Structure 1
Amino acid sequence: MLSTKLFRLVSHNGTRISMSTGVRITENPLDEKKFQHYKNLHELEKSDAKPVGWGEAKPFKSIPRPKPVPIFGNIWRFLPKIGNFHGLDFVEIQKLIWDQHGDIAVLEGLNGPPIVMLFNPKYFETLHRNEGVWPIRRGLASLDYFREMRKYTYPRFGMVQHQGEEWFKYRSVVNPILMQPRNNLQYIDKMNLVADELVDNVKFLAEQHNGEMPDNFNNELYKWSLESVGVVTLDKHLGCLKRDLDSHSETQQLIQSVLQVFELTYKLDILPSMYKYVSTSNWRKLVKALDFILKTNVKYINQTLDKLQTKEIDINDETSSVLQKLLKLDRNVAVGMSIDMMLAGIDTTGRVLAAGLYYLSKNPEKQTQLRNEAVALLQDKDTPITKEILAKASYLQGVIKEVTRLAPIAVGNLRTTVKNLIFGGYQVPSGTDVFTCNLALCTSDDYFPRAKEFLPERWLASGPKELSHKNTNPFVFLPFGFGPRSCIGKRLAHVELQTALLKIIRNFELQWPHEDMTFTTTALYGITQPLKLHVKCVNQ
């Protein structure tokens, strides 16, 4: 069935927002038999059956935990002077709980229901092998509140917030577009152009600042990330990397709003907060930031839809944008996923690229090895990167894996159990939130020898056997999650990072003459200080 209307005109607080209506778009072609098959499997999984050994396992209330106090729960632990969590990063809190309570613990008495925290890869595997065909990953409550508040104003964005049938139908449409490697490799030419712009800006900044990147260089990486998302998602150059970009420009405000969303959701949903009961300052800031992000993205999407209507771009082009590809399948998912990618793609890949540049600058011998590979693959500094080149860049692959081992975007994975399970001899009932503390294990010598060191060789088949990642349980290293609810944009992000890193190392020698970088957790994990790299152009 074809439709000529995407979204009706809506109104919010006097501001009218409309979606283009002249494009003919197909409806969701999801196979009904496939849907019913998975729905039946999901219903079978909802059994309250007890696993073998349940009767002998200790009850849930016996799981070790930081003890809450009446009224204040565990919130007091975050208070100055008296709280043992005060001033600690979330990863540091995890390690403290691990040290004090062992491989399984419960954290309760905060913003939401109790969370079981796991520190054993065998428990990770048990959780993921039993997460069901429609895994439940509880989203952020603040985003749920916002989506409900704006449900008649904006498209249904936020796939991470979806559950059950809604999530399955959404993901079934998106998976063939974003999870097929060949689809993501189609965008290498566009990513080359964006990476070249970033390289030019790095060269310019080095000339302007005597070889040292300025305090706001992190923002340059966020601009690269947004520009990359724009060309892939909308087939649109947003102009983020223009040198004369005003600090109050729309694209710069978009970047700042996205960064603010991740910071505020951490304060509202992870740390103790009263926003569910009263309208706090942080809640109002979050609403303002999300309103700006969504309104701006709807405008960008409309521009693409208008080009489709006037046949300025062809919806059947094999190298068309993600939005165009999804429009041929499901109009609502196309718009919602485009917003998701613009929202999630700025801070995530920007953070990983920043961490990668930092670790390479701190480890000159590893940087030299990557540059030798880059020089062998790219004859000239401006040689375009192709899928054939990336297929040969084995050391580059090791670098990216090692960066995401030490500095992943997410420090662990959250699931809600869909059946009764046993971890470490303790009963964990169906419907319990469980968090796997992957980063704590990834930086432990118990799982990775010389865990604090940056050693890309551990991921190479030719690397030292005693360092090989194959010696480690594969459920320890899950930087993009696991199974059906793994990160939908992981393949696209990987190609972006490969292209940018290879281009930068081919063109520049990086140095870090400062104290070690600190990493912290908001809603995401990453560097917290200015990335003031020292940069020299490569003569090769």
Structure 2
Amino acid sequence: MYRQVCVLKSGHSQPWRSISQNTEKILNGNTTRNKEWQEAKPFKAIPGPTQYQLIRSFFPGGMFYKLPVNDYLLKTREMYGDLYVLPGFLGRQKWLMAFNADDFLPVLRSEGIWPYRRGLETMNYYRTVHRKDAFEDSVGLVGTNGEDWGKLRSTLNPILMQPKNAKLYLNNMLEVSDEFLERIREIRDPKTLEMPETFEDEIKRLTFESVAVIALNRQLGLIRRNRNDKEAKLLFDSLRSFFDLSLMLDFGLPIWKYYKTKQFYQQMKNYDVIREICTKYVNEALDRIENDKTPRKDNEEKSVLEKLLKVDRNVAKVIATDLITGGVDTTSSTLAGILLCIAKNPDKQEKLRQEICTILPQKDSLLTIDNMKNLPYLRASIKEGMRIYPIATGTVRTNQGDIVMSGYQIPKGQEIVLNHNFLMNTEQYCPKAKEFIPERWLRSEDSEYAPMHSFLFMPFSHGPRSCVGKRIVEMELEITIARLVRNFHIEFNYSTENAFKNQLINVPAIPLKFKFSDIQQ
């Protein structure tokens, strides 16, 4: 809502004629936008393949058959330009593919206070139809829009997005990190010091433990003590299968809406497993909280789960489940990518180690909230790793008003894919894009390699619908990388070509056989 302010000066005989500079700017802006819209070409003039051309290209013999997502985007961009339309199928809306960073801002500006996001259709179906009884009136943030989403998000923001909450979990996360370091020492080959081919599973256990500390208010001991927990293994398998099938069911042909396929029923089973195991963990945690009669100390901060429980028990269960569902595979893939970058760039790794040693002079020195503020190169290294190995090629948004992109009219309600992560790996927008250069993120360094646009690096999305778990993930990555680099020389003596494959998210496609050599001091 715009506020008009009239500035009255002494001597003005007709003050009602004065208009504030802000209002004048708004009126001029509206006039400019209207003119821009009138001069823009119609939406139907945007290039793109027909339905037949697109379907044929993905079958054997087609130009996109079994093509990796990045290669597919590169090829279609070459064919159709920086803005093109992919046709919709079986009731699914057309997708507008955007590769011009200047087009991103009007999309983000059009979102308003209640941005609309389609979410995962299979998840929405599961929670509102298939297992409606289990979710009652709360289906979480992912499948909610409008005012209902706004109310829930405004409730969760002070619980999950406040930096002060990091203080509550730092010590527990450090304990999880110490367990992970010990696990590395236990399983590395005594001669080569390399990790086994199953090291990705170990990273998932780490990320699961770190999320559990916050979502469940407890450690599960899955890294070392409770390694034979069958439920944890089942949960990991179901999460991986969920991401596998989501690419097909939620972004491919939605045949399941008309005929329930084998893949659809497997996805429903995945959701059942995830919900049942997470609900068991959450219920145990909530029961402990409700039955705990220990007097609370003055000014003692409540845990995240306690705060969620105060809102509503069902909300607490759904949000805790979503934190686990969205925080295990995504964070483990992100961590794997950052470690690959650090391992393949020993000079940068040493520079990072020197910075970490300034606050951790001994290997067993403790990280604190205060000394972690003095690690700019660590944060820059994490950013650079996330740039080179992003979790996805971009993000999907729905414009909440008529906008103009690259000279075309884009009517309200169009699903738009902003391929910002794809662009961050191109020379057009990021100098020496294939090189790991953390310095590009430091203000104190030469900005020669800085990204050339401010709306490209959005690893946690942007605006009101940015990732609600951002603070948790940032702290988890900073602690883990700092502790690993302080304790080990990290190497990876294999090719990193095609290191990740695309499902709903990008996941490791090669064995993560890192070599961890102990630092002597």
- TM over 0.5, shorter chain: yes
DSSP-derived class of the 1:222 partner: helix
Distance 2:194 2:419 in 1: 36
Distance 1:459 1:221 in 2: 26
Percent identity, aligned pairs only? Answer: 36
Deviations 1:317-372 (A, max 9, x none): 84543211222234333222111101111111111111111111111111111111
Q: Quick one: which of 66, 89, 108 aligns to 2:87?
A: 108
Q: Structure 2 matches for 1:176-325, cutoff 5 A? A: 176-207=158-189, 210-242=192-224, 245-246=227-228, 249-311=230-292, 318-325=300-307
Name the structure 1 match of 2:8: none
Name the structure 1 match of 2:370: 388
Kindly tell me: are residues 337 and 426 of structure 1, through their superposed partners in 2, closer, same or farther at Cα, counting changes over 3 Å? same
Distance 1:261 1:465 in 2: 41
The Cα of 1:531 is off from its aligned counterpart by 0.7
Distance 1:520 1:423 in 2: 30
Q: Quick one: which of 123, 128, 134 aligns to 2:114?
A: 134
DSSP-derived class of the 2:108 partner: helix
Name the structure 2 match of 1:484: 464
Q: Quick one: which of 341, 346, 355 aligns to 1:359?
A: 341
Unmatched 5+ stretches in structure 2: 1-31
DSSP-derived class of the 2:516 partner: strand
Name the structure 1 match of 2:410: 428
Name the structure 2 match of 1:62: 45
Structure 1 stretch displaced more, 473-482 or 88-97 = 88-97
Distance 1:185 1:408 in 2: 28
Kindly tell me: are residues 109 and 249 of structure 1, through their superposed partners in 2, closer, same or farther at Cα, counting changes over 3 Å? same
Q: Decide whether the 8 Å contact of 2:157 with 2:468 is kept in 1.
A: yes
DSSP-derived class of the 1:478 partner: coil
Deviations 1:495-529 (A, max 9, x none): 00000010011111111111124222211124211
The Cα of 1:384 is off from its aligned counterpart by 2.2
Kindly tell me: are residues 145 and 461 of structure 1, through their superposed partners in 2, closer, same or farther at Cα, counting changes over 3 Å? same
Q: Decide whether the 8 Å contact of 1:51 with 1:422 is kept in 2.
A: no
Distance 1:289 1:386 in 2: 38
Distance 1:209 1:438 in 2: 43
Q: Quick one: which of 301, 307, 326 aligns to 2:308?
A: 326
DSSP-derived class of the 2:112 partner: coil
DSSP-derived class of the 2:85 partner: strand
DSSP-derived class of the 1:259 partner: helix
Distance 2:89 2:54 in 1: 6
The Cα of 1:128 is off from its aligned counterpart by 0.2
DSSP-derived class of the 2:423 partner: helix
The Cα of 1:419 is off from its aligned counterpart by 1.1
DSSP-derived class of the 1:254 partner: helix
Kindly tell me: are residues 320 and 439 of structure 1, through their superposed partners in 2, closer, same or farther at Cα, counting changes over 3 Å? same
Kindly tell me: are residues 242 and 52 of structure 1, through their superposed partners in 2, closer, same or farther at Cα, counting changes over 3 Å? same
DSSP-derived class of the 1:293 partner: helix
Q: Quick one: which of 465, 470, 476 aligns to 1:496?
A: 476
Distance 2:174 2:294 in 1: 21
Tell me the amino acid that sits aligned with residue 483 of structure 1: G
Structure 1 stretch displaced more, 237-246 or 181-190 = 237-246
The Cα of 1:162 is off from its aligned counterpart by 1.0
Distance 1:212 1:455 in 2: 26
Aligned length: 486
Name the structure 2 match of 1:23: none
Q: Establish whether residue 147 from structure 1 lines up as the match of residue 130 from structure 2.
A: no
Deviations 1:153-183 (A, max 9, x none): 2463441221111211110110011111111
Tell me the amino acid that sits aligned with residue 191 of structure 1: M
Structure 1 stretch displaced more, 497-506 or 301-310 = 301-310
- Root-mean-square deviation over aligned CA pairs: 2.1
The Cα of 1:379 is off from its aligned counterpart by 2.1
Name the structure 2 match of 1:80: 60
Name the structure 1 match of 2:103: 123
Distance 1:75 1:141 in 2: 21
Q: Decide whether the 8 Å contact of 1:235 with 1:320 is kept in 2.
A: no
Q: Decide whether the 8 Å contact of 2:283 with 2:317 is kept in 1.
A: no
The Cα of 1:483 is off from its aligned counterpart by 0.4
Kindly tell me: are residues 197 and 413 of structure 1, through their superposed partners in 2, closer, same or farther at Cα, counting changes over 3 Å? same
Q: Decide whether the 8 Å contact of 1:307 with 1:313 is kept in 2.
A: no
Tell me the amino acid that sits aligned with residue 264 of structure 1: L
Q: Decide whether the 8 Å contact of 2:140 with 2:315 is kept in 1.
A: no
Kindly tell me: are residues 208 and 266 of structure 1, through their superposed partners in 2, closer, same or farther at Cα, counting changes over 3 Å? farther
The Cα of 1:66 is off from its aligned counterpart by 2.1
Q: Decide whether the 8 Å contact of 2:46 with 2:83 is kept in 1.
A: yes
Name the structure 2 match of 1:413: 395
DSSP-derived class of the 2:70 partner: helix
Kindly tell me: are residues 243 and 190 of structure 1, through their superposed partners in 2, closer, same or farther at Cα, counting changes over 3 Å? closer
**TM-score, length-scaled by structure 2:** 0.89
Tell me the amino acid that sits aligned with residue 117 of structure 2: R
Q: Quick one: which of 492, 506, 509 aligns to 1:512?
A: 492
State the structure with more CA Rg. Answer: 2
Distance 1:108 1:162 in 2: 25
Name the structure 1 match of 2:28: none
Q: Establish whether residue 97 from structure 1 lines up as the match of residue 76 from structure 2.
A: yes
Q: Establish whether residue 473 from structure 1 lines up as the match of residue 456 from structure 2.
A: no
Deviations 1:110-145 (A, max 9, x none): 462101111111100110011111111111111111
Q: Decide whether the 8 Å contact of 1:63 with 1:105 is kept in 2.
A: yes
The Cα of 1:386 is off from its aligned counterpart by 0.9
Name the structure 1 match of 2:321: 339
Kindly tell me: are residues 161 and 417 of structure 1, through their superposed partners in 2, closer, same or farther at Cα, counting changes over 3 Å? same
Q: Decide whether the 8 Å contact of 1:51 with 1:420 is kept in 2.
A: no
Distance 2:73 2:265 in 1: 30
The Cα of 1:462 is off from its aligned counterpart by 2.4
Distance 2:485 2:497 in 1: 20
Tell me the amino acid that sits aligned with residue 261 of structure 2: T
DSSP-derived class of the 1:230 partner: helix
Q: Establish whether residue 534 from structure 1 lines up as the match of residue 511 from structure 2.
A: no
